[in-house]
């Protein structure tokens, strides 16, 4: 049995994540007690949302007064957050705090209080009218300059920053995530709404940030769908009951232990994201590889050289009897291939270890593709 880092390779805020199952914030509901009741089956939890300045606290009171939703109401946000954070120490769950503020100063005040003890999640997600009018929530998706200012202010404090967004709101999600990457964000927490896996794949192909996919993830099939199209983790809100979390945690653990790569992408020719270049063969025929290389601005020669260099001296370097003379060009284990499997047997390389090596190759490819942070005016 593998340990959590060997199984998933996930580290957030310098803490190993024990499972890629995340509890998403729900205002008035997800607090420390809520998380502690579910701590055995969550790797990360975002408590909140918490309003952290006068405009957003007033908006929260207005929203709660309507009687249709709950809110966390208090007079001193730092004291309230401090009590919650203290309760989660030693829980084994990486703690994030989902914050709704109307200015960079509101966020940096919280960061100055708690330092790197938590992940700071900017709530650019709330669509309630009073919160948007206060300059928080979805306001940021229509005013990205203000959102960038918040990200940069938090990063100046040396903390880990997540941004929670709704897909399809900003007008151009590709431009938005590139802007957030350039600003220094570490994590994208994406409510996919009705956009689905095509939007997730688009975002994965646009930036290297860690992605948490959210919305309607209640089964392992749905979880794997998200993971195979670009997500690193998945989050649950309304369905984050103990039974559902436990089921997802157990299922992804078994899958990782059996397959070797818990969020392996679909192959490019089957709709996979750009990580799937690790499974692609030589660019010798008309197939989805060629337009993918064009989109990322990589020549065939550079693609070939990149993979050859990355696998040099590794078990993927072998395979003279495979189609292109090396396991570097071989497909995913879910695709039948006699030559690949014969090579794995002769090299005494299990399919699980082969997939782990393909994951390493994918990491190298992604590092090469996204080596340079985009300039502010890039598109």
Tell me the pLDDT tens digit for each residue of 192-222. 988 889 999 999 999 999 999 999 999 999 9
Per-residue pLDDT of the chain (379 residues; tens, 9 = 90+): 469 999 999 999 999 999 999 999 999 999 999 999 999 999 999 999 999 999 999 999 999 998 878 999 999 999 999 999 999 999 999 999 999 999 999 999 999 999 999 999 999 999 999 999 999 999 999 999 999 999 999 999 999 999 999 999 998 999 999 999 999 999 999 999 888 899 999 999 999 999 999 999 999 999 999 999 999 999 999 999 999 999 999 999 999 999 999 999 999 999 999 999 999 999 998 899 999 999 999 999 999 999 999 999 999 999 999 999 999 999 999 999 999 999 999 999 999 999 999 999 999 999 999 987 766 655 4
Core vs surface per residue 56-92: b (16+ CB within 10 A) or e: bbebbebbbeeeeeebbeeeebeebbeebbebbeebe
Q: Domain boundaries in the chain?
A: 4-259, 268-369
Residues 121 and 162: beta-carbon distance below 8 Å:
yes
What Å distances lie between residue 236 and 42, 164, 233, CA to CA? 10, 13, 10
CATH topology of domain 4-259: TIM Barrel (3.20.20)
Provide the token pair at 292.
Answer: 């993918």
Nearest to 12 by CA among 236, 230, 247, 232: 232
* Each residue's pLDDT tens digit, 127-174: 999 999 999 999 999 999 999 999 999 999 999 999 999 999 998 999
Burial of residue 341 (CB within 10 Å: 0-12, 13-18, 19+) is middle
Nearest to 145 by CA among 119, 128, 170: 170
């Amino acid at each position: 049995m593998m340990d959590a880092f060997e199984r998933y390779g996930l580290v957030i805020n310098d803490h190993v994540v024990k499972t890629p199952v995340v509890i998403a914030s729900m205002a008035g509901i997800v607090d420390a007690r809520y998380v502690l009741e579910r701590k055995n089956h969550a790797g990360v939890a975002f408590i909140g949302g918490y309003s952290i300045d006068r405009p957003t606290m007033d908006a929260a009171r207005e929203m709660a007064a309507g009687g249709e939703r709950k809110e966390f109401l208090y007079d001193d946000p730092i004291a309230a957050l401090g009590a919650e954070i203290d309760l989660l120490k030693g829980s084994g769950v990486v703690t994030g705090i989902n914050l709704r503020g109307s200015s960079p100063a509101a966020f940096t005040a919280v960061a100055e209080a708690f330092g790197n003890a938590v992940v700071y999640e900017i709530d650019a997600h709330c669509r309630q009218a009073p919160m948007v009018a206060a300059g928080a929530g979805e306001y940021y998706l229509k005013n990205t300059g203000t959102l960038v200012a918040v990200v940069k202010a938090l990063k100046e404090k040396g903390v880990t920053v997540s941004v929670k967004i709704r897909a399809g709101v900003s007008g151009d999600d590709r431009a938005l995530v590139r802007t957030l990457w350039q600003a220094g964000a570490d994590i994208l927490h994406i409510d996919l709404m009705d956009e689905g896996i095509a939007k997730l794949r688009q975002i994965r192909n646009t930036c290297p940030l860690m992605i948490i996919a959210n919305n309607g993830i209640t089964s392992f099939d749905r979880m794997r769908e998200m993971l195979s199209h670009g997500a690193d983790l998945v989050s649950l809100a309304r369905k984050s009951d103990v039974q559902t979390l436990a089921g997802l945690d157990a299922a992804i653990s078994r899958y990782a232990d059996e397959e070797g790569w818990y969020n392996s992408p679909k192959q490019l020719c089957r709709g996979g994201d750009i990580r799937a270049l690790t499974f692609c063969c030589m660019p010798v025929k008309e197939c989805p590889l060629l337009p993918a290389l064009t989109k990322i601005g990589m020549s065939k020669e550079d693609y070939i050289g990149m993979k050859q260099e990355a696998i040099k001296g590794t078990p993927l370097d072998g395979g003279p009897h495979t189609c292109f003379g090396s396991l570097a060009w071989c497909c995913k284990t879910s695709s039948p291939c006699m030559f690949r499997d014969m090579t794995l047997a002769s090299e005494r390389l299990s399919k699980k270890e082969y997939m782990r090596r393909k994951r390493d190759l994918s990491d190298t490819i992604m590092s090469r593709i996204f080596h340079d942070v985009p300039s502010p005016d890039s598109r």
